[in-house]
Amino acid sequence: MSKKTKILKISPQIPETKKIEEAAEIVKKGGVLIFPTEAVYGVGGDFTNSEAIQRICQIKNRPSDKPLTIHIADKNDAEKLAENPPAVFYALSKTFWPGPLTLILETKKSSMGLRFPDNKIAQKLIKESGTFLSASSANLAGAQPPINLDEALKDLDGLVDLAVDGGKSKIGTASTILDLTSLEPKILREGPINKEELNKVIRQKRVLFVCTGNTCRSIMAEGLLKKILDEKQKKDVKIFSAGVSALEGMSPTRQTIEILHREGIDVSNYTTKVLTEEMIKSADVIFVMQEYHKDVILRKVDWVGKRIFVLDVPDPIGRPLNIYQDYFEIVKGEMGKVLKRIANMVKP
C-alpha cells in the first residue's frame, strides 16, 4: 500500500499560527504541498528551488518547460519579480487583487505569471515561508482542477509532503490568465473574471498632471480636461493631479478657484495630493508643467521617461489674478496636444 499524505486541517477564517508554521516548514525544506486558494486547490513549493519545481511538474505529468504560476502575498511583491510593470498592471492589480487573476509580466530574463490569491491560508503560508510559491492546480495535467482536498488527493495522495485542508474553494474555477507582455493585453484563459470586466479596466486611460504644490497649474489642467471630456461624453479616461512638493489636503489657491469658476468648473472642494510612486507607475501618460517636475519624477521612477510630456507652464503662485489668467490660457492652449496624445495612446 502506498504511503498516504499527511493532512493538516487549517481554519480558513482564522488560520492557526502553529499549523501555518508547520506547513511553511515544508516549503522552507524544499518540499511540495497541496494548499487551498479561493479559485481551486494548488500544488506548490519554493519558487527558487528548482528541484521542488521539477517535482511539481513530475507529479502532475506536466511539461517541465511550461512555467508555473508564482503566488505572492502582497501586490507590491510583483515589483520584486517583474521588470518595469506597465501602467495597466497597477490598475488591474488594484481592481482585482487579491483575487482569481493571473497576470503575465516581463522579467529580466523571460516572463512569468503572478497571482495574489484571496485566501487567508495561502497568504499566511506564503508570508511564513519567506518566499513565493511556484504552483499549479493540484491535479494531473488535463484533469479537472480540484475545489476541495478530497478531489486533490484523488490523484496526488502519497505524492506530496503535506496536504492542507482549508475547506471548499470559494470560487471553484481556475483563475483568469491575462498576458501583459505585448502591446495589447491578451486573455489566455477566461475564468472567474470575464472579458468585459477586464476590458473595463484595460480600456480606461489614466492621465496624470503634475506641478509643484498642486494648488494651481495641475488643478487647472485636470479641471479643464475633465470638462472637455465630459462635453465629448468620453468616459474612458481617468484624470488626476498631484504636486512634487504638495502639502496633502490643502485647498487650491483663491485665484485658481476663481479662474476655473469663470469656465464653469468647480474645484472649491478639491484637496491637494502629494505625488507618489504608485501615481507615477499607474499613469499611462504624465503631463508636467516644467522640466523640473520631470526630473523629480525620474528620480522617483527612472523607467517612465517615455510617458512624460512637458507643457511649459510658469508657476503663478503669489502672482495677481491677471497673471493666473495668462498662465491658464497657456494651459488651455496646450489642451489640443493633450487630447491628441490621449487619442493616440497605445497601452504599454
Separation between Cα atoms, residue 187 and residue 101, nearest integer Å: 11
Specify the CATH number for 204-342; select among 3.40.50.2300, 3.40.50.300, 3.30.1540.20, 3.30.1330.10.
3.40.50.2300
pLDDT of the residue at 196: 97
pLDDT of the residue at 108: 78
In b/e form, how buried is each residue of 16-53, taking b as 16+ CB within 10 angstroms? eeebbebbbebbeeebbbbbbbbbbbbbbbbbebeebb
pLDDT of the residue at 327: 98
Task: Parse the chain into domains and list their residue ranges.
Answer: 7-201, 204-342
pLDDT of the residue at 3: 82
CATH code for the domain defined by 7-201? 3.90.870.10
Lookup result for grid cell 512569468 = 112
pLDDT of the residue at 1: 41
Lookup result for grid cell 501615481 = 279
pTM of the model: 0.89
* 264 to 28, 223, 257, 258, 270: CA distances (angstroms): 62, 10, 10, 10, 15
pLDDT of the residue at 2: 60
pLDDT by 10s per residue, the chain, length 348: 468 999 999 999 999 999 999 999 999 999 999 999 999 999 999 999 999 999 999 999 999 889 999 999 999 999 999 989 999 999 999 999 999 999 999 987 789 999 999 999 999 999 999 999 999 999 999 999 999 999 999 999 999 999 999 999 999 999 999 999 998 999 999 999 999 999 999 999 999 999 999 999 999 999 999 999 999 999 999 999 999 999 999 999 999 999 999 999 999 999 999 999 999 999 999 999 999 999 999 999 999 999 999 999 999 999 999 999 999 999 999 999 999 999 987 543
